[in-house]
Structure 1
Amino acid sequence: MSKKADLPSKICVVCGRPFVWRKKWQTCWESVRYCSDRCRRNRRSTL
């Protein structure tokens, strides 16, 4: 079992909060930019 601190992380481009790697993102981690569906939906309001 791995520790959460060992997982890679990124900063959300909308809210600026850090988020860590999830198993469902293992095939597309390079293209993940948003921490949640809410931030993805609100991307136009902040850009």
Structure 2
Amino acid sequence: MRISGKTVAKKDLPQKECPVCGRPFSWRKKWAGCWDSVVYCSERCRRNRSAQ
């Protein structure tokens, strides 16, 4: 991730916790435009959200 032209270390990327599995997950480049709406760490957790 780049902020103001500087590279950010992976450990310094924003993180969220998945409500299904409880694991923390980090920002990914593919989520750059929609990070605020990302809730689940994976497609598998998104599908299993009603099971928990």
Structure 1 length-normalised TM: 0.90
Higher RCO (C-alpha 8 Å, min separation 6)? 1
Which ranges of structure 1 fall in alignment gaps of 5 or more residues? none
More strand by share: 2
Q: Which residue of 2 aligns with 1:23?
A: 29
Runs of 4+ aligned structure 1 residues displaced above 2 Å come to: none
Between the two proteins, the alignment pairs up a number of residues equal to 46
Matches within 5 A, 1:1-47: 1-46=7-52
Structure whose alpha-carbon radius of gyration is higher: 2
Aligned-CA RMSD value:
0.8
Looking at structure 1, the residues matched to 41 and 24 of structure 2 have their Cα atoms a distance apart, in angstroms, of 8
Q: Deviations over 1:5-42 (max 9, x none)?
A: 11000000100000000000011100101001110110
Structure 2 length-normalised TM: 0.82
